[in-house]
Structure 1
């Protein structure tokens, strides 16, 4: 398969997908990388995504929140979209996006889902004293990327989270600013210009309520931290 001009290959090895680009999944749900809450976790609710699976879509380890289980899974798996928190699970959002990248650019893609439903922004923060802390969401994802040998080649991070911050704008804005600063220091250090970050506003009526109006407005008004950061409404 040819390489896309803007999706570089990672280093290769006996158990590593050749020319795989690395896209960690950050997301969480208002219940929350990709990373963030449940909309990023993208579990199966209606309809199947198994038709999007491909031998050119891989994931490393497991998205489980159990630290010891996460730490023990250090193997590449075929990516799957219809199950969560299991080896190779990436969610339906990621598997669909990954398949379109494979079909369009003819490159293998590595997907990492670090989302966890129903968690506030504090749940996703790095433990600065121990960035690889398996007791933290950040540490589990970071360890998976390191063990896969792709942390420096991360091309993009997708983030959807906010509902579980209960419209507490200062807490969310401050927490996200800290989180993206840590991502920038850890991810994509070998990528020219750095990793790309795609930030999604919470929905107008997330999870059946309308209590996130102020937070949604704050997300809209927040200026991207750099040209490598994009926002979607």
Structure 2
């Protein structure tokens, strides 16, 4: 009997030791079944083990190669694996004594989309605001090549290393609750490139740009009024995904910063520069949406004209290398800050990425941007970049222009196209010698000027009054 008890005790001890020797591997939420890895690149995969100085081995099924590393003093580890041209599904085995297998892995194009409520707006609608065409988009959404990951909403005072979320295939059950701008972007990219697309969504309604800046990026701006909310969304929602292999970023934010357009030209470039440093990918493509016109001041003339924030966003094009701005002057709504035409937003992001990142030719990637003016008598002729094959109004009246003389008083202007619709000529019977022009430079206005590809012109002013 004693011998039996001794043997059982010894066996239990051996089992205990064996279990203790087998380290437990853990991975962040986004390294999971159904994920998409950026094609033809060196992508990082990382995680934790409950053992320090433990060997961790990664095996990728697309090339049957193994790579290994050793955990640090905290049990943390990171490896880089080379990805092939798009394809899949594949699997990845991660082992530190016990093996974790990630299945149904696709290789394709991966993008991050972030911002505030207009990026957060779901395909099925949100905040009591609908999305035009949502039902058709939802019922036709079945596509295993589009994978979506939504980072769980969280504000924290210190950077996190993991987040809540799962990868989901596009379907009528998953698409309604995903970012509309993000989904429509991914759908168009997949349609044109015919390869898998992964879209990671990390947005928060009502958020200021400061909330998405890291502690290091916000440090030079200690005097911010809202400094207590700085970095809280970077820490809680962006920090966990920093380093995940992506092709580029999409950004739709600015409505919460209309009160400080001059500061935005400092904060936003700082954010982009910091994100690029954190990813270590040089001039990572960064495409952003100019906010749509909206009646922020409710016609009372109080507060800041949001056209100044749109102007600040346009100025950022020259401050941020490898950036681009989609324009939304035609889809604003006086009654809601959330434009309903989110398919247009996603598609315009896609046109920009297709032209500037993927090298597609033959079309402009954004709408007309003011270039220069020439005065002759009581008329001013305006020239534009990003015209494509010319300018148009799509049979609308060309409105939204104002001119001013030396008295700096603006008057509504008559506007018409110049020769071959390559310029716009403006004048006003109230202004004999015009010196400045403004277009769509209102809190809320409906833009009427487009290029022939259907992309609207940005609001602008030629003065600095």
Q: What's the TM-score, normalizing by structure 1? A: 0.71
Quote how far apart the aligned CAs of 1:65 are.
2.6
Identify if the C-alpha distance between structure 1 residues 19 and 221 changes in structure 2 by more than 3 Å, giving closer, same or farther.
Answer: same
1:197 to 270, 286, 291: 286
Q: Distance in 1 between matches of 2:145 and 2:232?
A: 29
Provide, for residues 121-158 of structure 1, a one-character-per-residue CA deviation record: whole Å limited to 9, x for no partner.
111111339xxxxx832232231354xxxx2x321211
1:174 aligns with 2:270: no
Unaligned runs of 5+ in 1: 1-5, 33-37, 84-88, 130-134
Q: How does 1:9-158 map to 2 (within 5 A)?
A: 11=83, 13=92, 14-15=102-103, 17-27=105-115, 32=116, 38-43=117-122, 44=125, 45-46=130-131, 47-48=134-135, 49-50=137-138, 51-60=140-149, 62-65=151-154, 71=162, 73=164, 75-79=166-170, 80-83=174-177, 89=178, 91-128=179-216, 136-139=232-235, 140-146=237-243, 151=244, 153-158=245-250
Instruction: Indicate the SS of the match to 2:215.
Output: coil
Quote how far apart the aligned CAs of 1:111 are.
0.5
1:213 aligns with 2:302: no
Provide, for residues 67-95 of structure 1, a one-character-per-residue CA deviation record: whole Å limited to 9, x for no partner.
6x994536433254321xxxxx4x11111
Q: Distance in 1 between matches of 2:214 and 2:276?
A: 12
Q: Distance in 2 between matches of 1:61 and 1:164?
A: 22
Instruction: Indicate the SS of the match to 2:105.
Output: coil
Provide, for residues 93-124 of structure 1, a one-character-per-residue CA deviation record: whole Å limited to 9, x for no partner.
11111112112212111111112111111111
Identify if the C-alpha distance between structure 1 residues 96 and 207 changes in structure 2 by more than 3 Å, giving closer, same or farther.
Answer: farther
RMSD: 3.2
Quote how far apart the aligned CAs of 1:24 are.
0.4
Tell which has more relative contact order, 1 or 2 (C-alpha 8 A, sep 6+).
1
Instruction: Indicate the SS of the match to 2:106.
Output: coil
Unaligned runs of 5+ in 2: 1-37, 44-82, 84-90, 93-101, 218-230, 300-304, 328-465
- Which structure's residues are more often helix, by fraction? 1
Quote how far apart the aligned CAs of 1:220 are.
1.8
1:186 aligns with 2:281: no
Q: Distance in 1 between matches of 2:208 and 2:112?
A: 19
Instruction: Indicate the SS of the match to 2:103.
Output: coil
Provide, for residues 205-230 of structure 1, a one-character-per-residue CA deviation record: whole Å limited to 9, x for no partner.
26685731211112223333455211
Of the two, which has the highest radius of gyration?
A: 2
Quote how far apart the aligned CAs of 1:66 are.
6.0
Quote how far apart the aligned CAs of 1:176 are.
0.5
Q: Distance in 1 between matches of 2:255 and 2:165?
A: 32
